[in-house]
Amino acid sequence: MELTGAQMVWECLIREGVDVVFGYPGGSIIDTYDAMIDYPIRHVLVRHEQGAAHAADGYARSTGKVGVCIATSGPGATNLVTGIATAYMDSVPMVAITGQVSTAVLGRDGFQETDITGITLPITKHNFLVSEISELPQAFIEAFHIARTGRPGPVLIDLPRNVAMSKAEFSYPDKVDLPGYRPTQRGNVRQLRMAAELLNAAARPLIIAGGGVNRAGAFEALAALAEKYRAPVAMTLLGIGGFPQSHPRSLGFMGMHGAASANMAVDKADLVLAVGMRFSDRVTGKASAWAPNAKIVHIDVDPAEVGKNVAPTVPIVGDANLVLQQLLPLVQPCEFEPWWSLIDEWRQEERSRDILKHETEELLPPFVVSRISALTEGQAMMVSDVGQNQMWEAQYYSHDLPRSLCTSGGLGTMGYGIPAAMGVQVGNPDKQVWMVAGDGGTQMTLNQWGTIAQEKLPIKMAILNNGYLGMVRQWQQMFFSSRYAATPIGSPDFVRLAEAYGIPGLIVTTREEVDDAIRAAIAHPGPFIIEFRVKGEENVYPMVPAGQTVREMIRRPLPSERCLPEEAK
Amino acid sequence: MRHTIVALMEDRPGVLNRVASLFRRRGFNIDSLAVGHSEAEGISRMTVVVQGDDKTLEQVAKQLHKLVNVTKVFDLNGSSVSRELALVKVHATPANRSEVIGLASIFRANIVDVSSDSLIVEITGTEDKIESLLELLRPYGVQELTRTGVVALARG
Ligand SMILES: Cc1ncc(C[n+]2csc(CCOP(=O)(O)OP(=O)(O)O)c2C)c(N)n1
Ligand SMILES: [Mg+2]
């Protein structure tokens, strides 16, 4: 059958199992949009293309499927860039389709021409400029294959307008032809045996789950290993959701703002089993002093991650799910008794410092997040923005569901929250989706409320309004003598603004109102916002300052310690 | 430490750009880079000489390998033959022309162009050999120089 390039786009997407795309039309992509009407694919019209990329990202992270976004050439394509870079840093499977000027004007600065394949070269796993209609089906099958296999990532397809308009016979290839791309699946048996020997000889082991556990869907394999081996499991920010927070073996979230007990466990461990992680500086602090007493077994699907930041004793290249399954029978159960007692001591001490244990009348963000966690019973799909809100969400929401947190880790993209939540809700129509963001990040992308209202996405949005770009303010307070340069930020009346979009909301200023507001949001069938006017100058603790070690970790002062400086004044 | 790395890659538009962009982005220092056809149709062969310790080198090779269009990457530090070609335009007057030609012939270099006040010398060999000849030609005045970058094959 003869089809236009524009029709082929949708034929290909359907064959790849796509039923929803996030996008925004324009001149160079108009033919593709015209063809779309005839295909059973849902299109979600965003309010800015950055949101299309974040929505595709949220869809992908929360479902494990490839997210698809589409935009026109020039400004449409460049608006995608932040979202593509966000997905690249966090290894999110995504295909971005951009319109391009016709090949006849390509390279001559045509109207709305940008070299988007050039621009996205370092932030995509691969990209394609389809210069002939005959290359189109192959580009699509390869794009999806590359995006979802191995270490997942975004792939961009740039489609010149004349290619979309031209006609050719269509047949979808049955296989990819990528001689240079063969990701390793199963772990090497010798490496596995060496790893098992180390695990079986360890006295103070620690498993760390990275984002790879979520990407590979290694939830059961990891739980089985932790239960058999009886070792504690800590999670990186992107590893959250990879292992149930309420599991007795869970130490929670580790890294710069991770649990002190989890970071201390890294420091004292004699063996670290790192699963699907890349030893980012936010995880390790000073990499050379990280886990100083430990032998390291590193499982990762990307061979280039082995030894990039931290040199492992035993690397195993392969899919986290398969490798953990291979490792399971080789590992012997152990009690690790003195180790668990030590960990319990740390946890007890940690609890005594927990802000939630302190008497206070103030409306504190950790309290808000812990109430959302309690009232949704840890069963919500969570999305967080970037900043203090993100860290509090990670610390105080008890994530028990696989893939239940979408957050921008590697790039730390403010404004990710609202649009990513759209993708999560679209991908999980029957689940409750909550988004937690700051007043700053909310203002970056709240134009997407238009999309949320139009698509009737029942997302619950909690804005932690502290009147500051809080995370930067915290650094200024701690490391720049409280010189608050450009961090106090004003906000509109969020509830009235949401109302203008047809989204109801509530303002919460006291602790007493918190539960009722959260219940009201849950009870409301559509989208809902709650603006929590929280304490302004609250800090995220603990904190391992950038490039330092656990020994320099800044802890939350105990109530007795807190009084001292006040009295001294 | 200097290493010679060879990468085989699909001969497609933009592939060289991907490789160059990768070196820049990852901050790898390259001494030379040469690309051309290989024995297999549709496959180009790139030879890169890089500076760095073993860890850097391992990253160069692994990151290159991650490029979808790169089919094979290997390090050529064992027993291998490496060659480079240089064209050198040297200032030479009728008075000292024969001196320059004499030097060139010691290095088995060819004179490929002669004009009233210059010569073009073509030399092929290891980098060291080229450096040595250049050293000797400099006093006469090297007006222009172009080098291809090293290409190499494993022996046997
Ligand atoms: C797009 C972008 N710009 C700037 C930053 C730097 N940054 C990191 S956290 C932060 C403050 C965030 O403020 P807000 O959204 O109010 O959250 P809070 O930290 O107060 O919870 C800033 C400016 C960023 N991460 N992303
Ligand atoms: Mg704020």
H or E element that contains A79: helix A75-89
ipTM: 0.89
Residue A562 vs residue B101, higher pLDDT: B101
Question: Residues in chain A, how many?
Answer: 569
pLDDT value, residue A567 = 39
CB distance A243 to A262 below 8 Å: no
Ligand 1 center–CA A469 separation, angstroms: 5
Tokens at residue A265, please?
A: 């466990």
pLDDT for the residue A569: 36
B21 touches chain A (CB under 8 A): yes
Given the CA of residue A443, which atom of ligand 1 is nearest to it? 15
Residues near ligand 1 (Cβ within 6 A):
A 385-389, 412-415, 438-441, 464, 466, 468-472
pLDDT mean over A509-532: 98
The residue to mutate among A237, A363, A385, A386, having the most atoms of ligand 1 within 8 angstroms of its beta carbon, is: A386
Mean pLDDT of A251-269: 96
Question: Hey, what CATH topology would domain A189-346 get?
Answer: Rossmann fold (3.40.50)
Q: Does B54 touch chain A (CB under 8 A)?
A: no
Distance from CA of A412 to the nearest CA of B (A): 20
Of A384, A453, A480, the closest CA to residue A47 belongs to: A453
pLDDT score at A352: 86
Instruction: Give tens-digit pLDDT for A101-131.
Output: 999 999 999 999 999 999 999 999 999 999 9
Q: Which atom of ligand 1 is nearest to the CA of A392?
A: 21
Single out the residue of A156, A165, A109, A96 nearest to residue A128, CA to CA. Answer: A156
B2-77 falls under which CATH superfamily? ACT domain (3.30.70.260)
Residue A134 predicted with pLDDT over 90: yes
pLDDT at position A562 is 55
Confidence tier at A149 by pLDDT (50, 70, 90)? very high
CATH 3.40.50.970 in chain A, residues?
2-169, 359-547
> Closest approach of chain A CAs to the CA of B42, in angstroms?
12
Tell whether B17 is within 8 A of chain A (Cβ): yes
Question: Tokens 């390509």 appear where?
Answer: A106
Pocket test for ligand 1, best of A408, A469, A489, A543 (most atoms within 8 A of CB): A469
Q: Using an 8 Å CB-CB cutoff, list chain B residues near A118.
A: 17
H or E segment at B114? strand B110-114
Strand pairing class (B80-91; B70-75): unpaired
Residue A337 has pLDDT above 80, yes or no: yes
Q: What is the CATH number of domain A2-169?
A: 3.40.50.970
Tally helices (H) and strands (E) across chain A: 23, 20
Residues A346-374: tens digit of each pLDDT:
999 998 888 888 878 899 999 999 999 99
Q: Which residues of chain B have pLDDT under 50?
A: none
Instruction: Name the residue at shortest CA distance from atom 20 of ligand 1.
Output: A470
Using a CB-CB distance cutoff of 8 angstroms, which residues of chain A are in contact with residue B13? 129
User: Closest approach of chain A CAs to the CA of B67, in angstroms?
Assistant: 8
Element (H, E) at A384: strand A381-384
Mutate to test the interface with A, among B68, B70, B72, B74 (most CBs of A within 10 A): B68
Could you read off the pLDDT of A443-466 as tens digits, one per residue? 999 999 999 999 999 999 999 999
Which one-letter amino acid corresponds to residue A249? R
How wide is the angle at C-alpha B93 spanned by C-alphas B90 and B96, nearest 5°? 90
- Residue A207: beta bridge partners? A233, A273
Write out pLDDT tens, residues A197-243: 999 999 999 999 999 999 999 999 999 999 999 999 999 999 999 99
- Whether the per-residue pLDDT at A504 is higher than 60: the answer is yes
pTM: 0.95
pLDDT band at A316 (very low <50, low <70, confident <90, very high): very high
Top-tier CATH class for A359-547: alpha beta
Ligand 1 atom with minimal separation from the A474 CA: 19
Please tell me which residue of chain A has the smallest CA distance to B59: A304
Q: What is the pLDDT of residue A561?
A: 63
What are the tens digits of pLDDT across the range A60-100? 999 999 999 999 999 999 999 999 999 999 999 999 999 99
CATH classification of B81-154 is 3.30.70.1150, yes or no?
A: yes
As a whole number of Å, the end-to-end CA separation of chain B is: 25
- pLDDT of A559 higher than 90: no
Distance from B8 to chain A by nearest Cα, in Å? 9
Q: How far apart are alpha carbons A36 and A34 in whole angstroms?
A: 5
Q: What is the pLDDT of residue A568?
A: 39
In this prediction, residue A560 carries a pLDDT of 64
Asked if A117 reaches chain B (Cβ–Cβ under 8 Å), the answer is yes
**What is the reported pLDDT for A358?**
80
Tell me whether residues B14 and A129 touch, CB distance under 8 A.
yes
Where are chain B's structural domains? 2-77, 81-154
| Tokens found for residue B33 | 């880079």
When the pLDDT of each residue in chain A is averaged and rounded to a whole number, the result is: 96
Q: Tell me the mean pLDDT in the region A182-207.
A: 97
Ligand nearest, relative to CA of residue A408: 1
**The two domains B2-77 and B81-154 share their CATH topology (first three levels equal):** yes
Of A122, A302, A308, nearest to B21 by CB-CB distance is A122
CA of A538 to the centre of ligand 2 (A): 10
Atom number of ligand 1 nearest to Cα A465: 16
